[in-house]
Amino acid sequence: MLDELQTADRGSRLRISNSLSEGLFVEAGAGTGKTTEMVSRIVNLVKEGATTIDHLAAITFTEMAAAELRDRVRHRLEESALSPGVGEEGRRRCREAAADMDIASIQTLHSFAASLLRERPLEAGLPPNFRIAEPIEADIRFEEKWQSWLHQELLTGTTALELLRLIKLGLKMDHLRAAAAALQSNYDRIALPFSVPPAPPRRAVAKVVSSLPLMQQLCNLCLDESDNLY
């Protein structure tokens, strides 16, 4: 069965590896060999002189995937540099590329974007010495800011009364914190300044209040509070 699948898409695989002058969009499921074909295309681009390793970008989503891709490209370049089936000029290109792998942009999307910003920080409105916070560090900072804001608002903030009303109505701090975390994670998509929506009609509020018993019955059907229905 595997041989039949490989035969069926052999033309597509050869095009990915060897059609170096055109841009391609490849969509395939997990485990179908996308990374293998990407490695072949990168090596062929270098071997044929279509580009050099320092002018190439290969972007992944995770650090683990980037490290694996970098190792596989280096290994294939070293193999091609010693292969008798590759011409002398191609072997030289592969040998030089393998030696220059440390300057190749084979990295995560975030790392690649950060490298571009570091080249032109002022144009991007950033301080020249900016750095990317590690996930754990970002989580700690968020928690500190969240606790500080909550403490201040409950004591003296202008929204303290509204928060207390919501708590009486059943809002939990975990719900509010989750909303704050969502805003933090998607801050670049938030349109500022916020516009305050008009108050809903009184009849709409009355309808919601009268529906509370039914809502409670529906909540009882949920597995727990993480259920989307809840």
Domain 2-119: give its CATH superfamily: P-loop containing nucleotide triphosphate hydrolases (3.40.50.300)
- Can you tell me the distance from the alpha carbon of 122 to that of 126, in angstroms, rounded to the nearest whole number? 6
Residue 8 has pLDDT above 90, yes or no: no
Annotate 166-204 with b (16+ C-beta within 10 A) or e (fewer): eeeeeeeeeeeeeeeeeeeeeeeeeeeeeeeeeeeeeee
Residue 93 has pLDDT above 90, yes or no: yes
Q: What is the DSSP string of 1-49?
A: -HHHHHHHTHHHHHHHHH-TTS-------TTSSHHHHHHHHHHHHHHTT
Question: Hey, where are the domains in the chain?
Answer: 2-119, 134-188
DSSP 86: S
Q: Tens digit of pLDDT for each residue in 16-43?
A: 888 888 888 988 888 888 889 999 999 9
Question: Quick one: average pLDDT of 118-122?
Answer: 89
In the chain, pLDDT over 90 holds for what percent of residues?
27
Question: Quick one: average pLDDT of 70-90?
Answer: 92
Question: Given the structure tokens 């509370």, which residue do they identify?
Answer: 212
Q: Tens digit of pLDDT for each residue in 172-213?
A: 888 889 989 998 888 777 777 777 778 778 888 888 889 999
pTM, full prediction: 0.57
Q: Tens digit of pLDDT for each residue in 121-179?
A: 888 888 888 887 778 888 899 999 999 988 888 777 777 788 888 888 888 888 889 98
Question: For residue 173, what are its two tokens?
Answer: 């701090």
Residue 119 has pLDDT above 80, yes or no: yes
pLDDT value, residue 1: 44
Residue 6 has pLDDT above 60, yes or no: no
Residue 45 has pLDDT above 90, yes or no: yes
